[in-house]
Amino acid sequence: MAIQLPDSDLVDKLVYANRILYDHGIVDGLGHVSVRHPTEPGVFLLSCNRAPAMVRRQDIVCYDFDGNTVSDSTERPYLERFIHAEMYRARPDVMSVVHSHSMSVIPFAITKHALKPVFHMSSFLGAGSAHFEIRDAGGDTDMLIRDKHLGEALARSLGDCNCVLMRGHGSTVVGGSIEAAVFRAIYTEINARLQLEAQGLGEITFLNGEEARLATEMNEGQLPRSWNLWIKRLGNVDLDQ
């Protein structure tokens, strides 16, 4: 029996999330964002294989944690849906996942330098980002997380962090809501850019653990301000087009 999509508000949020991430340059023709199904255990929502800026309501599909389509859809899925599936399987606290290739993050991923919070808006980075080396899990590959095994390895690398950098590829961030995951994806890129710029000036004073915790609590309570602004930036959009 096919799984039904949840209420339209959550589907709309997921469509908006795709378009917001494109609007901020976090994704282009590639990259994706998902959300855990609120009432069906072991199921998440993700667009079919579509450029994020072009995702519509009718493109949202339900998948199980093995990457199988479980709602009524014959559309081609994203190859890397296993990123999302295994994050949800490994981390019950995660409600939304963003995978992207934003440019300022790549230097940290290829050098194994951790992203650490340089200001309060990126406090979710806490003690730093995690790193994933795909060669350790799959040898020489096309760098994509295209099966359960690689997805599991990526989730293990994430551990308790909120961001994992993927060497030669990009990053994946997680959050307790769509709004939080989108916020974190945007500010992961901003933090990377600022950290790169600051390194040329001298030693960086990062947020310490308690500062990061307190700032994260504050930011979580302010998410609607940013989310509503980002939707307004999109203008009058038709989520069916």
Question: Could you list the active site residues?
Answer: 80
Q: Give the residue from 93, 163, 88 showing the smallest Cα distance to 132.
A: 163
Ranges assigned E (strand) in the chain = 32-36, 43-47, 60-64, 96-100, 130-132, 163-166, 170-175
Q: What is the DSSP string of 97-112?
A: EEEE--GGGHHHHHHT
Residue 39's CB is within 10 A of a number of other CB atoms, namely 9
* In contact, 6 and 44? CB cutoff 8 Å: no
* In contact, 193 and 24? CB cutoff 8 Å: no
Q: How many angstroms separate the CA atoms of 75 and 40, rounded?
A: 21
Token reading at 192: 């990377």
Residue 126's CB is within 10 A of a number of other CB atoms, namely 19
